[in-house]
């Protein structure tokens, strides 16, 4: 009996062992086990909208909630002269490579792959519209990148290769011209058969899918690029500018403003309201001098009067007297001055904290198009009008952008014909002179006209700081106050230097070293922040 039980048990045990061992041939479901169930593996034409939205959303990241302080406040907004940045070191030319690096990555790692994936799918499916909208947004993004770093990958960007070559900035611009040309040509053709063509609908937070507006943006962008290279490559510049005008309409009215809607977002919205409470950005003396001097109606839109608050209530009288008025801080002051930062004007009402998901992000303003045409005309190119007309139209559109389209045309005309000039900003302890002496009224003097066009364009570009910074570097206009203090030995304001670019991204140095070395050769052998870019022919 016992023996029998034991035998039976042995048998069972052997069966169990055999059963057990058979598990080990079960690698059939390994693929299934190793599948990520919370992500997906293939893209189709059904995802165009979501991909495009992602590319747009991340594409405006430099101006959205957290990256706002990183890329905009600490780099562009004060270098273009709009603000003083409360982080004293950055306001005094310190760079933060980590933040710039992450901004660089936003474009190449987040925006570009979405666009390239879209274009791959669209090419396969033969979808002309999605392909070319992605192409326009790609140019918009990479143009902004090349204007910060100089030589950048374009031709092979986003291909996933182990090393990616850098194109010289000239090559980048030439390729962008080609891409915009082909995109506009293709889309115009589509629009011929379907003038109301709409793609992505509400997934397009800029134009709600209106393709004709994208074409206007593309043409304006092409003109922007042409003007940008006008000092270094005038022939190509003129050719592209005139071709852009010929290719169709530019952005004209405020309906064409490229504003990224934030109201349906969750999370990253407009970064400026965030800065308002973060209190890192205040009006610069440049803005104070010009807007006050011109009695500019945009003052109360861009900036707020200084309020008494918990902090400045204890400030010395010389700062406390700012309360109630519009006061700008001298960007690049002595570091100790930043203690009293909160005695200066914060952003205007629409940028008050809480409006992160209310106030749209300015991507490109229609007013810019008029100033671009003004400069083209000033250069003698065929822009279809005179520099003065375009200049005045630009001012009108800009004022309407902020004050509303029903804003009194008399007031606008008074402004346009005003002979008032910028005032002294009354800034203790420097007491600077007025920023410049030009009035709004269009001058007959060619040089003054140029300064007027660029100064008004500068006002109108607000808050598109990256564009304003690029134009300041190209033209050194408006005549911004030099920073009084620099913590960066490579940028010495005393010798007239400004910050002209960012050094190449850290991750590129480590992972794409040879190509970065080539890129450095393209800019003369030193990867410094004082090296002028290709289109910047100024001494620095």
Which token pair is 147? 């204007």
Contact call for residue 537 and other proteins (CB under 8 A):
no
Strand 281-283 to 83-85 pairing: antiparallel
Closer CB to other proteins, residue 3 or residue 446?
Answer: 3
Query: What are the φ/ψ torsions at residue 284 (nearest 5 degrees)?
Result: -90, 165
Which token pair is 349? 């009402």
Q: Give the span between the Cα atoms of 531 and 15, in whole angstroms.
A: 78
Closer CB to other proteins, residue 240 or residue 337?
Answer: 337
Closer CB to other proteins, residue 25 or residue 447?
Answer: 25
Q: Give the span between the Cα atoms of 249 and 246, in whole angstroms.
A: 8
Q: Give the span between the Cα atoms of 376 and 229, in whole angstroms.
A: 12
Query: Three-state DSSP class for 152?
Result: strand
Residue choice 126, 195, 196, 336 for contact with other proteins (CB under 8 A): 336
Residue choice 4, 33, 195, 410 for contact with other proteins (CB under 8 A): 33
Contacts (CB under 8 A) with other proteins, residues 465-494:
487, 489
Contact call for residue 157 and other proteins (CB under 8 A):
yes
Residue choice 83, 119, 139, 265 for contact with other proteins (CB under 8 A): 265
Closer CB to other proteins, residue 419 or residue 510?
Answer: 510
Contacts (CB under 8 A) with other proteins, residues 405-424:
none
Q: How many other CB atoms are found less than 10 A from the CB of residue 513? A: 11
Q: Give the span between the Cα atoms of 322 and 305, in whole angstroms.
A: 9
Residue choice 1, 126, 196, 264 for contact with other proteins (CB under 8 A): 264
Query: Three-state DSSP class for 260?
Result: strand
Cα within 13 Å of Cα(310), Cβ side: 2
Scanning 23-31, 174-182, 379-387, 396-404 for contacts with other proteins by CB under 8 A, the matching segment is: 23-31
Closer CB to other proteins, residue 279 or residue 428?
Answer: 279
Contact call for residue 530 and other proteins (CB under 8 A):
no
The 3 state secondary structure assigned to 308-349 is CCCCHHHCCHHHHCCCCCCCCECCCCCHHHHHHHHHCCCECH
Contact call for residue 110 and other proteins (CB under 8 A):
yes
Query: What are the φ/ψ torsions at residue 364 (nearest 5 degrees)?
Result: -160, 130
**270, 359 in Cβ contact below 8 A?**
yes
Contact call for residue 280 and other proteins (CB under 8 A):
yes
Residue choice 98, 234, 325, 496 for contact with other proteins (CB under 8 A): 98
**344, 84 in Cβ contact below 8 A?**
yes
Closer CB to other proteins, residue 19 or residue 406?
Answer: 19
**203, 57 in Cβ contact below 8 A?**
no
Choose among 307, 293, 279: nearest CA to 438. 293
Closer CB to other proteins, residue 13 or residue 411?
Answer: 13
Residue choice 208, 246, 311, 318 for contact with other proteins (CB under 8 A): 311
Contacts (CB under 8 A) with other proteins, residues 355-374:
356-357
Contact call for residue 30 and other proteins (CB under 8 A):
yes
Q: How far is the CB of 91 from other proteins (least distance, A)?
A: 13
Closer CB to other proteins, residue 28 or residue 192?
Answer: 28
**459, 398 in Cβ contact below 8 A?**
yes
Mask of contacts with other proteins, 160-189, x by CB under 8 A?
A: xxxxx-x-----------------------
Alpha-helical regions (H) of 150-198? 169-193
Which token pair is 424? 């002294």
Scanning 186-194, 266-274, 394-402, 442-450 for contacts with other proteins by CB under 8 A, the matching segment is: 266-274
Residue choice 40, 308, 413, 433 for contact with other proteins (CB under 8 A): 40
Q: How many other CB atoms are found less than 10 A from the CB of residue 459? A: 25
Residue choice 246, 511, 521, 524 for contact with other proteins (CB under 8 A): 511
Contact call for residue 538 and other proteins (CB under 8 A):
no
83 bridge partner residues: 283
Token match 């379907």: residue?
A: 194
Contacts (CB under 8 A) with other proteins, residues 52-71:
53-54, 57-58, 65
Residue choice 45, 124, 159, 495 for contact with other proteins (CB under 8 A): 159
Q: How far is the CB of 36 from other proteins (least distance, A)?
A: 4
Scanning 18-26, 208-216, 225-233, 234-242 for contacts with other proteins by CB under 8 A, the matching segment is: 18-26
Alpha carbon 456 to chain centroid distance?
A: 19
Contact call for residue 349 and other proteins (CB under 8 A):
no
Contacts (CB under 8 A) with other proteins, residues 204-223:
205
Task: Spell out the residues 6+ positions from residue 421 whose beta carbon is closer than 8 angstroms to its own.
Answer: 293, 294, 434, 436, 437, 438, 439
């Amino acid at each position: 009996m016992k023996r029998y039980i034991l035998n039976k048990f042995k048998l069972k045990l052997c069966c169990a062992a055999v059963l057990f061992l058979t598990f080990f041939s079960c690698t059939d479901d390994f693929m299934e086990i190793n599948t990520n169930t919370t992500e997906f593996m293939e893209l189709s034409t059904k995802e165009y909208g979501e991909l495009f939205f992602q590319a747009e959303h991340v594409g405006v990241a430099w101006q959205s909630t957290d990256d706002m302080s990183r890329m905009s406040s600490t780099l562009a907004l004060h270098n273009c002269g709009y603000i003083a940045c409360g982080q004293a070191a950055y306001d005094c030319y310190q760079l933060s490579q980590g933040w710039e690096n992450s901004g660089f990555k936003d474009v190449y790692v987040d925006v570009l792959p979405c666009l390239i994936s879209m274009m791959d799918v669209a090419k396969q499916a033969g979808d002309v519209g999605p392909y070319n909208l992605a192409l326009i947004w790609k140019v918009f993004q990479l143009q902004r990148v090349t204007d910060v770093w100089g030589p950048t990958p374009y031709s092979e960007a986003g291909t996933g290769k182990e090393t990616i070559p850098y194109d010289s900035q000239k090559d980048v611009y030439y390729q962008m011209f080609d891409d915009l040309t082909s995109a506009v040509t293709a889309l115009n053709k589509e629009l011929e058969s379907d003038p109301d063509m709409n793609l992505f609908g509400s997934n397009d937070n800029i134009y709600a899918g209106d393709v004709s507006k994208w074409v206007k943006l593309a043409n304006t962008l092409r003109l922007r690029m042409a003007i940008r290279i006008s000092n270094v490559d005038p022939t190509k510049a003129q050719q592209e500018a005139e071709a852009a005008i010929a290719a169709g309409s530019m952005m004209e009215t405020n309906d064409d403003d490229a504003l990224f809607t934030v109201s349906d977002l969750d999370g990253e919205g407009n970064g400026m309201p965030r800065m308002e409470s973060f209190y890192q950005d205040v009006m610069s003396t440049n803005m104070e001098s010009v807007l006050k001097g011109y009695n500019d109606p945009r003052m109360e839109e861009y900036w707020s009067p200084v309020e008494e608050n918990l902090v400045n209530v204890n400030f010395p009288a010389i700062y406390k007297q700012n309360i109630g008025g519009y006061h700008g801080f001298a960007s690049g002051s002595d570091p100790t001055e930043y203690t009293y930062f909160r005695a200066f004007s914060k952003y205007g009402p629409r940028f008050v904290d809480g409006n992160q998901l209310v106030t749209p992000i300015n991507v490109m303003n229609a007013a810019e198009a008029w100033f671009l045409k003004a400069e083209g005309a000033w250069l003698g190119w065929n822009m279809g009008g005179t520099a003065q007309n375009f200049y005045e139209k630009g001012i009108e559109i800009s004022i309407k952008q902020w004050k509303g389209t029903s804003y009194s045309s008399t007031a606008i005309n008074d402004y346009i014909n005003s002979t008032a000039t910028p005032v002294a900003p009354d800034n203790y302890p420097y007491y600077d002179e007025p920023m410049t002496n030009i009035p709004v009224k269009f001058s007959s003097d060619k040089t003054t006209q140029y300064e007027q066009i660029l100064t008004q364009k500068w006002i109108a570009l607000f808050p598109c700081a990256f564009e304003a910074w690029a134009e300041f570097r190209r033209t050194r206009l408006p005549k911004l106050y030099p920073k009084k203090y620099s913590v960066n030995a490579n940028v010495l304001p005393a010798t007239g230097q400004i910050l002209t670019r960012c050094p190449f991204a850290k991750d590129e140095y480590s992972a794409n070293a040879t190509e970065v070395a080539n890129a450095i050769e393209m800019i003369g052998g030193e990867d410094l922040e004082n090296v002028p870019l290709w289109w910047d022919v100024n001494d620095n």
